[in-house]
Amino acid sequence: MKEGLLKKKLHEILLTDDDDNDIEKYRLTITNRIFHSIVYGGIESRKRRGALTGEWLIYYVYNGLNYYLDLADHEVLNDQQKLYDRLSNECAWEFPFAFAALT
């Protein structure tokens, strides 16, 4: 997403009229909106331009929420251990619950 578009989208999201009485719920809601906008917005933009490359969106479902970990092309999926190692190295610090059961 280009910097100008990102700033505009963040501005739109942050100026929404959400109930902020429960700050943790508010923070989670805003964070989810930002990431949804970046991830899905980027995918939709590429789709409109005919620029989808066959990448897989890799996510982990935890407590009913989707946690987006990475994008991977079809070739990476041929070596699942290599993919797992990459995800673990890049994402475990931020999403330890996604890897805790497997370590």
Q: In this predicted model, what pLDDT tens digit does every residue of 40-52 receive, in sequence order?
A: 777 788 788 887 7
Residues whose CB is less than 8 angstroms from the CB of residue 52 and which lie 6 or more positions away in sequence, other chains included: 43, 46
- Residue 2 has what pLDDT? 62
Q: Report how far residue 4's alpha carbon sits from residue 59's, in angstroms, rounded to the nearest whole number.
A: 27
Separation between Cα atoms, residue 93 and residue 103, nearest integer Å: 13
Residue 102 is predicted with a pLDDT of: 60
Name the stretches of the chain with pLDDT < 50. none
97 and 90 Cβ atoms separated by less than 8 Å: no
CA angle 74, 89, 47 (to 5 degrees): 35
pLDDT at 3: 67
Distance between CA atoms of 48 and 50, rounded to whole angstroms? 6
